[in-house]
Structure 1
Amino acid sequence: MSIEGRSAAVKLEAVTKKFGAVAAVDTVDLLIEPGTLVTLLGPSGCGKTTTLRMIAGLEAPSSGRVVIGGKDVTLLPPNERDVSMVFQSYALFPHMTVMENVSYGLRESELSRDAQKAKAREGLALVGLAGYDERLPSELSGGQQQRVAVARALVLEPQVLLFDEPLSNLDAKLRRKMREDIREIQLKLGLTAVYVTHDQEEALAVSDKIVVMNKGRIAQQGTPADLYERPADAFVADFIGSANLVPAEIVARDQTGVTVALGLTKLVLRNTGITGDKVFLVIRPSGVTLDGETGKTGTLPAKVARATYLGSHWEYTLEAAGQPIFVTQPVGKRFAAGAHVQMELDTSQLALVARP
């Protein structure tokens, strides 16, 4: 008996969900390719969890269609959709053993009791919990409980696996390990997975595609690199990774590049087709090199307002171009608060978005 991914495409067609007069999800069109992990990312109240629940069948769309594996499932209940969901709260039965929890969903299958146990053991082995059959959830750590929840979902061999903020109850170090494990299992089994999180780093780490949502709509979708390097607007730039949005102005254009004025400093960036001259220059914290030498050409003068040592690197808040700018530097780049420095900007890590 083997657990194999039976991945299917998920398609949302003009899906809207209203609660009274409020549209929690507003005319969302989305295609999730088979065998990919797609993350719905955004702040609280953006509609990401409601979208996931409509895929699961836990919420009914007010309008639009949900299609899984080419089949319209809009009106079908959860148990007829061939999807499994891993919840934020794990939702384990406290009085049942690990084996009983994992095999619970197989009770209505045509498998014999022995076959159900064999499949459950295979699921536990897949998540690194072989030999934990007889333990109760209370005897497990938070990370182990999450693994049990993943195993319980996997043994059902769903066409689509859904994750609702699965790591939010874990500490930072364990979150990193669990996200790597979830991604490894998803790739190994070729599963179609839809993953909801508000954690940008988590989304960047696990996703084939990220869908950034804002106020019930899709603000932008693409690969992690697309969204990080080429944000569509100020909201996406600010939400995907840390970013400084610095007001600037385009003073010249040609087919290949644009010249941007930032105070007395001018930068030449690639022409992305942005219209209008008033823009935000998106400066990533890692895209800046600080130098204590003053008067260097092509750099931006700044003053260190705050210096924070974090072991592996320094974090600096600078005063530059009339506003605070947050940057990170290697441990060897040490400057005291109040120091005057020069910011050398890596143009390959800069982006431009329209300024309202």
Structure 2
Amino acid sequence: MTIKSKSGSVIFKNVSRRYGNIAAVDNISFTVEPGTLVTLLGPSGCGKTTTLRMIAGLEMPSDGQITIGDVDVTYLPATERDVSMVFQSYALFPHMTVIENVGYGLTVSGLTKAQQLEKAREGLALVGLNGFEGRLPSELSGGQQQRVACARALVLEPKVLLFDEPLSNLDAKLRRRMREDIRELQVKLGLTSVYVTHDQEEALAVSDRIIVMKNAQIAQIGTPNDLYDRPANAFVADFIGGANLLPCEVVVIEGETARVRLGDVEVNVRRGPVTKTGPARLALRPNAGRLTATVAVSAIPVDVKKATYLGSHWEYTVGSQHGDIFVTQPLDHAFAAGASALLSLPSEGLCLVE
């Protein structure tokens, strides 16, 4: 007996969820292709968790249609949907052993007790917890508890696996390791997965595609590269990668390139969604510009307000006539707070947004 994937698509068509006059989710449409991991990303209150709960059947939409595989599940209860969820709190039974927690959902599967035990052991093997069968959740680390929660969901062989901020309770180093493990497991099994987080770095690391949400609506859908390099608007540019948004003037547009004026400086950049000349905003990634004390082409004068040493790089907040700018620099670009410098603006790492 082996754990298999029954991956199916997830389709939202004009789905809304309202609580009285307040829209938690407002007329959204998207498709999660079979075997892919799609992340719902956004700040608190944007509607991402409500969207996930509607896939799970824990919330019912006010309008629209939800399809999983070939089945319209819009108003089906959670028990009739072929989905499993890994919760933020893990939701393990404290009085049950690891193997009992993993096999709990199989008790109504029609399998014999021997088959249930075999499948539960396979689930633990998938997440690297062989030998932990007899332990209680209280005897496990946070990362191990998270793996048990994943195994419990995997043994049910769902069409769709849901993750509700599964790494938020872990420390930074363990989060990096666990997100790699989740991604490796998802690819290995070909699982259709929907993942909720407010951490943009986590979303970039695990996703085939990302749905960025703002104020109950979708701000942009795309691959991690699309969202980082070609943000559709100022919100996405700021939320994905923390871009500095500088007021500028679009002078000329030629194909996919625009020449923009920033104070006394002109530079060629990707035009992004901007289609006409005039006022716009230039998205500058923190690692794009370079601080220098010598004359540089396409550079603006700045004053170093804050300098923070982080071991692998420097972080600076610099003041300019365009406002404060946050930049990261290599270790050999060291400037003291209070120093004057020039910030060069190469075309890479720059793009226009509406």
TM-score of the aligned structures, taking structure 2 as reference length? 0.98
Provide the C-alpha distance between the structure 2 equivalents of 1:13 and 1:292, rounded to a whole number of angstroms: 54
Aligned-partner residue type, residue 129 of structure 2 = L
Kindly indicate whether residue 115 of structure 2 is the aligned counterpart of residue 98 of structure 1: no
Provide the C-alpha distance between the structure 2 equivalents of 1:127 and 1:151, rounded to a whole number of angstroms: 6
Residue by residue over 1:62-101, the C-alpha shift from the partner in whole angstroms, topping out at 9 and shown as x without a partner, is 1111100011011111121110000001000000000000
Residue by residue over 1:11-47, the C-alpha shift from the partner in whole angstroms, topping out at 9 and shown as x without a partner, is 0111100011101001110100000000000001000
Aligned-partner residue type, residue 292 of structure 1 = A
Q: Is the contact made by 2:290 and 2:329 (CA closer than 8 Å) also made in structure 1?
A: yes
Cα offset, 1:252, TM superposition = 2.4
Cα offset, 1:344, TM superposition = 1.6
**1:1-356 equivalent positions in 2, closer than 5 A:** 1-272=1-272, 274-276=274-276, 277-293=278-294, 295-354=295-354
Residue by residue over 1:207-250, the C-alpha shift from the partner in whole angstroms, topping out at 9 and shown as x without a partner, is 00000001111000000000011111111111111210011111
Q: Is the contact made by 1:250 and 1:258 (CA closer than 8 Å) also made in structure 2?
A: yes
Provide the C-alpha distance between the structure 1 equivalents of 2:285 and 2:326, rounded to a whole number of angstroms: 8
Provide the C-alpha distance between the structure 2 equivalents of 1:91 and 1:168, rounded to a whole number of angstroms: 14
Provide the C-alpha distance between the structure 1 equivalents of 2:255 and 2:195, rounded to a whole number of angstroms: 39
Secondary structure, counterpart of 2:108 in structure 1: coil
Q: Is the contact made by 1:97 and 1:137 (CA closer than 8 Å) also made in structure 2?
A: yes
Cα offset, 1:273, TM superposition = 5.3
Secondary structure, counterpart of 1:351 in structure 2: strand
Q: Any unmatched runs of 5+ in structure 1? A: none
Secondary structure, counterpart of 2:343 in structure 1: strand
Query: What is the RMSD computed on CA atoms of the aligned residues?
Result: 1.1
Provide the C-alpha distance between the structure 1 equivalents of 2:291 and 2:104, rounded to a whole number of angstroms: 57
TM-score of the aligned structures, taking structure 1 as reference length? 0.97
Q: Is the contact made by 1:16 and 1:61 (CA closer than 8 Å) also made in structure 2?
A: yes
Aligned-partner residue type, residue 94 of structure 1 = P
Q: Is the contact made by 1:34 and 1:192 (CA closer than 8 Å) also made in structure 2?
A: yes
Q: Which consecutive aligned stretches of 4+ in structure 1 deviate over 4 angstroms post-superposition?
A: none
Q: Is the contact made by 1:262 and 1:321 (CA closer than 8 Å) also made in structure 2?
A: no
Q: Is the contact made by 2:160 and 2:193 (CA closer than 8 Å) also made in structure 1?
A: yes
Aligned-partner residue type, residue 291 of structure 1 = T
CA pair 256-228 structure 1, distance change in 2 beyond 3 A: closer
Secondary structure, counterpart of 2:174 in structure 1: helix
After TM superposition, the structure 1 stretch with the greater mean CA deviation from structure 2, 12-21 or 251-260, is 251-260
Identity of aligned residues (%): 63
CA pair 79-106 structure 1, distance change in 2 beyond 3 A: same
Q: Is the contact made by 1:57 and 1:81 (CA closer than 8 Å) also made in structure 2?
A: yes
Provide the C-alpha distance between the structure 2 equivalents of 1:256 and 1:48, rounded to a whole number of angstroms: 32
Provide the C-alpha distance between the structure 2 equivalents of 1:240 and 1:176, rounded to a whole number of angstroms: 18
Provide the C-alpha distance between the structure 2 equivalents of 1:4 and 1:290, rounded to a whole number of angstroms: 53
Cα offset, 1:257, TM superposition = 2.7
Provide the C-alpha distance between the structure 2 equivalents of 1:8 and 1:273, rounded to a whole number of angstroms: 33
Residue by residue over 1:88-129, the C-alpha shift from the partner in whole angstroms, topping out at 9 and shown as x without a partner, is 010000000000000000001121111111111111111111
Provide the C-alpha distance between the structure 1 equivalents of 2:224 and 2:275, rounded to a whole number of angstroms: 24
Cα offset, 1:332, TM superposition = 1.4
Count of residues paired in the alignment: 353
Provide the C-alpha distance between the structure 2 equivalents of 1:156 and 1:107, rounded to a whole number of angstroms: 10
Secondary structure, counterpart of 2:194 in structure 1: strand
Provide the C-alpha distance between the structure 2 equivalents of 1:305 and 1:166, rounded to a whole number of angstroms: 37
Secondary structure, counterpart of 1:323 in structure 2: coil
Provide the C-alpha distance between the structure 2 equivalents of 1:271 and 1:308, rounded to a whole number of angstroms: 32
Q: Any unmatched runs of 5+ in structure 2? A: none
Aligned-partner residue type, residue 83 of structure 2 = V
